[in-house]
Amino acid sequence: MSNIRVLIFLTIFIIMITASFFIQANLSKQKSKWLGLIFPVIFTTIAAFLAFGATIYDGSIIKILVVFLLYMIPADIHVLIYLHMRNKMRGKNQHELDKMKIQDL
């Protein structure tokens, strides 16, 4: 019975993380660059709290660093999505400016 609960929990967790990636992509496309930084900041804060919370139970620096790096994986993916979408938008805007310059000539 507990195996089913774990499986359900993991499935819901994976769906939530995947949904956050799609939401991140949409937020990064907005004109305001700050909207795209919401999820990276949230996940970085969570990673820091969980890593520093591990110091209470175990004082090993290496274990704490490993925990922090593992929890930073979603934040890193969100940052990569943010950078990709912003660069894509910048290229699109530059292309439109080039078209306008050509029309002005």
pLDDT for residue 39 is more than 90: yes
Which residue in the block uniquely carries the two structure tokens 């050509």?
102
Q: Would the pLDDT of 105 be above 70? A: no
Coil, helix or strand at residue 26:
helix
Task: Name the residue ranges covered by the structural domains of the chain.
Answer: 2-104
Checking if the pLDDT of 22 tops 70, the result is yes
**DSSP code of residue 104:** H
Question: With 80 as the cut, is the pLDDT of residue 59 above it?
Answer: no
| Structure tokens that stand for 51 in this block | 């890593």
Give the pLDDT of residue 1. Answer: 65
pTM: 0.77
Which among 71, 94, 98 is positioned nearest to 17, based on CA atoms? 71
Q: What's the pLDDT band for 64 if we cut at 50, 70, 90?
A: confident
Q: Are 43 and 74 in contact (CB under 8 A)?
A: yes
51: Cβ–Cβ under 8 A, 6 or more apart, which residues? 64, 65, 67, 68, 71
